[in-house]
Structure 1
Amino acid sequence: MKRYALAGASSRGFHMYALPITEKFKDYAKLVGIFDINRKRAEYVSNYCGGVPVFEDFDRMIEETGPDCVIVTTIDRYHHEYAIRAMNAGCNVIVEKPMTIDEEKCKAMLETEKKTGKRIIVTFNYRFSPYVTRIKELLKEGIIGEILSVDFEWILDTSHGADYFRRWHRRKENSGGLLVHKATHHFDVINWWIEEDPEVVFANGTRRFYGPTREKRGERCLTCNYRDTCEFFVDYSKDPFMKAFYFDAEDIDGYYRDRCVFSPEIDIEDTMSVTVKYSR
């Protein structure tokens, strides 16, 4: 039975890893530890996963639980840190996409993988969306013949799409921007579909809508004076999961899940374009 430890008690870590391991795959895998700097969120995950031990010290978790593999679902900017520490401690690593946010951190992770002989797996769950998988099958069957070019466009809506500008993703130092955090799905899918590697990439981006584009704004939706007139107002505190997982844990790390999408601290782009030359 494989032993897994979770670094990052995030919503993604909880729903896509911790719960499935302790419920659907409990005969094959065991979750032996949960690490997070916010103990309340880690304890929430633990309570729904059979009382898995909670740790606020990553290295102590590794030492005391002896996992075969560490699953990293922290904020993107810390992926490299916990992946490298895990491999140096003798563990394989599963890291949520994106692998990390810049070239320097990526190289450090690959160098550690080579040095330790351990393995990093980056998860791209979008490949398993039924229509994405079906497109892959059809392409393999040769339904359209030789692929000469790909035109791919992705438009984020103002519900899920706006949420990137409420959360920690809105700072480039945390996420690398949406071309790294979000479009990593799209780059991976296209590479997978056409079975080629990109050689040259040109990209540009700007911020046209979100950020300080209107005067009527607040720090967060929950306390905003313009909640009755703003079309982006959300009250996540009424959702039982969101309240318990985020709002009730704010006193630990000061993280607000409902920050204003028109905040001046937003420094990621919301409009981007990429041209890629592939190997063939």
Structure 2
Amino acid sequence: MKRFAVCGVSKRAMEMFIKPMVETFSASSELAALLDNDPKRFSVCKEQFPTIQNVMEYNESEFQKMVFETKPDVIIVTGRDDTHVDYIVKALEHNLDVITEKPMATTAADCKRIIEAEAKSKGTVTVTFNYRYSPYHTKIKELLLEGKIGRVTSIDLNWYIDTFHGSSYFMRWNRMRELSGGLSIHKSSHHFDLVNWWLDQKPVEVFAYGSLNYYGQESEHNPQKEDGRYCVSCNVKSNCAYYMRWNSRSGALNVKDDHIDSNSKSKEAYSSYRPDRCIFDSEIEIEDTYTASVKYNKGALLSYSINFSLPYEGYRLAINGTKGRIETTEYHAPSRVPFPVPEQTIDYYPLFGAKETISVVKREGGHGGGDPVLQEDLFLGEDPSRSYRILSGSEDGAYAVAAGEAVWRSVKENRPISVETLLHSQSVKNS
């Protein structure tokens, strides 16, 4: 029986880790402790999972006490992004294993702290990059390993976030770079990790452009220049195109919230947390649009873009190699796409031959069916029948964050940014 302590009782913690722990993997896994700075999160969590009523609760300053009293084997880190590094380092200092939500940290410097702590520890770090586990993404990995397109020369990846999902980041703490690293880290680290994993290469240099086009006080969609508004009480929301796209005039609030379960009987907000802050506040300075070029250590080149305010959500991918090309397009959250969308397939084009369209067997579960398979690897151990590595370690987490930091730094400094220089890493331990 392995004992787990959760640091940061977010909605993500409850849905991704606590729920499967108590419902699916209870024969081998036990929730030993909850740690958070807001007691309300404990009551919401225990309301949702009545079987954990006796689980010990600890304030964020009581990490050492929690470890001493509950003796966990693994620390699960699922709090706000900027809190990850301290919990991970403390866990490693106690020789405990760590499972952390992405991003592993919000800066390359903090990734270096983690790597150094892990090198001195008996514990290891696992980063839950669930995009790897989507059946489409694992199929692409398998095609590349089979050599279907030969040596990869370039990748085009264009990611689209719709006005519902995209605006949600600017309603919450994610809009502050010091808390999230900015969206090139909080969100794009997912995408950089996916490419790094497909290629089995490391990013070495990034040049990027970016800007704030849709949100912030200067947005052309801002109905009135005034700070401090909240969607639920805003007196100009009927003039806000973002609000009215997803809500009716009756005022039914419909914002994406990664932290509190909308089905909970406890309707009060968490302490000092609002998921409906105005997306046009003047404090918003992070970018909502990026294009980037990334050079890899074995010669591959990535052309990447992401936009956080588009009419639909999904991505378009093309991977070019010396023997052919792979293409696929995904339309995410079809219920929010305002037109019929085709079933996702993978198209394979040999350099000298006929096109082949590959259909993929889909799975149920979050992140395109990836979450349940990742959970099995986390709570049962990695699948021994799998022929390639998929579970992510500290090196993967570090390079994904460093690539994202290189993006926003390149935007600010208008120059190429060395990923290795950001990491200052002499040696990186890979769990």
Shift of 1:215: 4.5
**What letter is aligned with 2:102?**
K
Provide the residue aligned with 1:192 in structure 2.
Answer: 197
Distance 1:104 1:135 in 2: 32
Provide the residue aligned with 1:106 in structure 2.
Answer: 111
Report Cα offsets for 1:110-132 as digits up to 9, x if no partner: 11111223211111011112211
Provide the residue aligned with 1:248 in structure 2.
Answer: 268
Shift of 1:276: 1.0
Q: Which moved more, 1:64-73 or 1:265-274?
A: 265-274
Provide the residue aligned with 1:279 in structure 2.
Answer: 297
Task: Tell me if the contact between 2:223 and 2:236 (Cα under 8 Å) persists in the aligned partners.
Answer: no
Which of 128, 133, 142 is residue 138 of structure 2 equivalent to?
133
Change (3 A) 1:130 1:124: same
Distance 1:128 1:46 in 2: 29
Which of 145, 151, 157 is residue 146 of structure 1 equivalent to?
151
Provide the residue aligned with 1:85 in structure 2.
Answer: 90
Distance 1:152 1:174 in 2: 26
Shift of 1:89: 2.2
Provide the residue aligned with 1:230 in structure 2.
Answer: 240
Shift of 1:236: 4.0
Distance 2:296 2:262 in 1: 42
Distance 2:232 2:64 in 1: 36
Provide the residue aligned with 1:174 in structure 2.
Answer: 179
Alignment of 1:150-161 (within 5 A): 150-161=155-166
Shift of 1:275: 1.2
TM-score scaled by structure 2? 0.61
Distance 2:176 2:266 in 1: 19
Distance 2:175 2:92 in 1: 29
Shift of 1:224: 0.5
Distance 1:165 1:172 in 2: 11
Task: Tell me if the contact between 1:236 and 1:242 (Cα under 8 Å) persists in the aligned partners.
Answer: no
Provide the residue aligned with 1:121 in structure 2.
Answer: 126
Shift of 1:245: 8.6
**What letter is aligned with 1:267?**
E
Shift of 1:142: 2.4
SS at match of 2:237: coil
Task: Tell me if the contact between 1:8 and 1:73 (Cα under 8 Å) persists in the aligned partners.
Answer: yes
Distance 2:254 2:266 in 1: 9
Whether 1:221 and 2:231 are equivalent positions in the alignment is yes
**What letter is aligned with 1:140?**
L
Shift of 1:244: 4.2
- Count of residues paired in the alignment: 277
Q: Which moved more, 1:57-66 or 1:30-39?
A: 57-66
Report Cα offsets for 1:25-48 as digits up to 9, x if no partner: 111111111111111112211333
Distance 2:265 2:185 in 1: 26
Change (3 A) 1:245 1:201: farther
- The structure that is strand-richer by fraction is 2
SS at match of 2:6: strand
Q: Over the residues paired in the alignment, what is the CA RMSD in angstroms?
A: 2.0
Report Cα offsets for 1:211-266 as digits up to 9, x if no partner: 112252652101100222322225048x993374995134xx32101111111121
**What letter is aligned with 1:228?**
S
Provide the residue aligned with 1:97 in structure 2.
Answer: 102
Task: Tell me if the contact between 1:178 and 1:269 (Cα under 8 Å) persists in the aligned partners.
Answer: yes
Provide the residue aligned with 1:46 in structure 2.
Answer: 46
Change (3 A) 1:236 1:39: farther
Structure 1: any 5+ residue segments left out of the alignment?
Answer: none
Distance 1:168 1:269 in 2: 14
Task: Tell me if the contact between 2:215 and 2:280 (Cα under 8 Å) persists in the aligned partners.
Answer: yes
Task: Tell me if the contact between 1:7 and 1:70 (Cα under 8 Å) persists in the aligned partners.
Answer: yes
Distance 2:130 2:162 in 1: 20
SS at match of 1:164: helix
Task: Tell me if the contact between 1:95 and 1:121 (Cα under 8 Å) persists in the aligned partners.
Answer: yes
Distance 2:99 2:265 in 1: 23
Distance 1:71 1:173 in 2: 22
Structure 2: any 5+ residue segments left out of the alignment?
Answer: 248-252, 299-431
Change (3 A) 1:245 1:173: farther
SS at match of 1:208: coil
Distance 1:79 1:245 in 2: 29
Distance 1:101 1:82 in 2: 13
SS at match of 1:165: helix
Provide the residue aligned with 2:10 in structure 1.
Answer: 10
